Amino acid sequence: MMTPYIAPQLPRVENSRTRGHAFKLNVNRCRYDLRKFSFCNRVVNLWNTLPDYVVNSVSVNNFKNNLDRLWVKEEFYYDVDASPISL
């Protein structure tokens, strides 16, 4: 019997007076590199900088399309199928 996958807990910001979207995440402070460079800690800062229209997308495909539209304007573009390239 397989054990079920347990998703990591991502604590949301409790303060409602934050700038940007309402789904901001807390940044965990870590003493050791093992936790500091984990996926969750690397993604939190990027997630918190996303604008409202990307975060509040109604579907996954809509989220991906909005994210692509946002990142095309950026100096650095990340393509999922290839290695990171700069435009």
Residue 42: pLDDT above 80? Answer: no
The answer to whether the beta carbons of residues 66 and 53 sit under 8 Å apart is yes
User: Is residue 40 scored above 70 in pLDDT?
Assistant: yes
* pLDDT-based confidence at residue 16 (cuts at 50, 70, 90): low
Per-domain residue ranges of the chain: 52-87
Q: What is the mean pLDDT of residues 37-56?
A: 83
Q: Are 11 and 25 in contact (CB under 8 A)?
A: yes
The 10s digit of each residue's pLDDT in 52-63 is 899 999 999 999
pLDDT band at 1 (very low <50, low <70, confident <90, very high): low
pTM above 0.85, yes or no: no
